[in-house]
Amino acid sequence: MVSERIKIKKNVDLDLLTTLGIGGKANYFFLVGTVSDLSKLLKETGPRPYILGNGSNLLIKDGLIKKPVIKLVGKFGQVRKKGNVLEVGSSILLSFLIKYSLKEGLGGLENLAGIPASIGGMLVCGASSFQANIFDYLKEVEVMDFKGKLYKIKKDEINYGYRYSSLSGRIVVGASFSFPGNKSKSKEKIKNIIQKRIALQDFSLPSCGSVFKNPSQAAAGNLIEQVGLKGKRRGGLKISDKHANFIVNLGKGSFQDADYLIQNTKDIVYRKKGIVLEEEIQRWS
């Protein structure tokens, strides 16, 4: 019997829960608010579930998603301060954490400002920007395996790099960070980073950020632009006119449109440049 505290919903529209605005319906969608409920649920659900963060790195297929989807809420959204250490629930959004830490006189996350993600999602995806990494001030994470066992992992036990983290394959439930004191210039730095981001990236339409990882030879966006694909349309989607590594949803984009644009881009970049593009986004099917 699933705990009464866990909310179960049927046929939840996942397009509304992703920043790209694409995705079918979750057959079973669980809202789980505590570690003990999560552990119980994992012991009871059959197939390994999907964990939804803020949906900003996801391409979800249309139609029915049969695997259960779990969204962490309640206690997973709490922050506790102990000196300059913040203990953070994994569903906390980066934007909230930045505001909170500034208010508490702590800095360190400035260069990541504007990434529309949860802390759990960032740790699993190895998020970084402008020479800063979500792991920079991490002390340790609390994770649960898919059998419901909870344990802590220290930063030096984690492998991470550009869009990669060895935490993937586990559920991040919380993390503690030891942040430096907030330098008086933090607010100004955040403003500059947001301005830089707006100048470089396309925030005018829904997207899932960069679709491809940057290969060692060049930025993926430059390669896509050089092969003439900037602005290419397919159905309701388009390769952004502003940042060619972004695919933007003009309103009615489908998974098929996205899949076509991604495959076509890979094919053309490989044919014309001899470079294999690897997807940064994660796919759910």
> Which residue numbers are catalytic?
163, 210, 280
CB of 133 vs ligand FAD, minimal distance in Å: 9
DSSP codes joined into one string, 114-130: T---BHHHHHHHT-EET
The end-to-end CA distance of the chain, in Å, is: 27
The DSSP output letter for 94 is: H
36, 84, 129, 264: which one binds ligand FAD (CB under 6 A): 129
CA 148, 149, 154, 159 torsion-angle sign? negative
Contact status, residue 239 vs residue 285, Cβ threshold 8 Å: no
CB of 271 vs ligand FAD, minimal distance in Å: 27
Residues β-bridged to residue 177: 86, 138
Question: Does residue 248 touch ligand FAD according to CB under 6 A?
Answer: no
Q: How many residues does the structure list for the chain?
A: 285
- Residues in 207-246 at the binding interface with ligand FAD, rule: CB under 6 A: 207-209
Nearer to ligand FAD, 66 or 272 (CB): 66
Question: Does residue 56 touch ligand FAD according to CB under 6 A?
Answer: yes
# of chain residues touching ligand FAD (CB under 6 A): 31
Question: What one-letter code names the amino acid at 280?
Answer: E
Question: Does residue 97 touch ligand FAD according to CB under 6 A?
Answer: no
- In the numeric block, the tokens 């960069």 are attached to 210
Question: Does residue 121 touch ligand FAD according to CB under 6 A?
Answer: yes
113, 171, 224, 262: which one binds ligand FAD (CB under 6 A): 171
The DSSP output letter for 41 is: H
The residue range among 98-106, 119-127, 225-233, 260-268 that interacts with ligand FAD, by the rule CB under 6 A, is 119-127
How far is residue 195's CA from residue 19's CA, in Å, rounded to a whole number? 20
How far is residue 130's CA from residue 143's CA, in Å, rounded to a whole number? 27
Question: Does residue 247 touch ligand FAD according to CB under 6 A?
Answer: no
Residues that bind ligand FAD (CB under 6 A): 19, 50-58, 72, 90, 115-118, 120-122, 124-125, 127-129, 171-172, 201, 207-209, 282
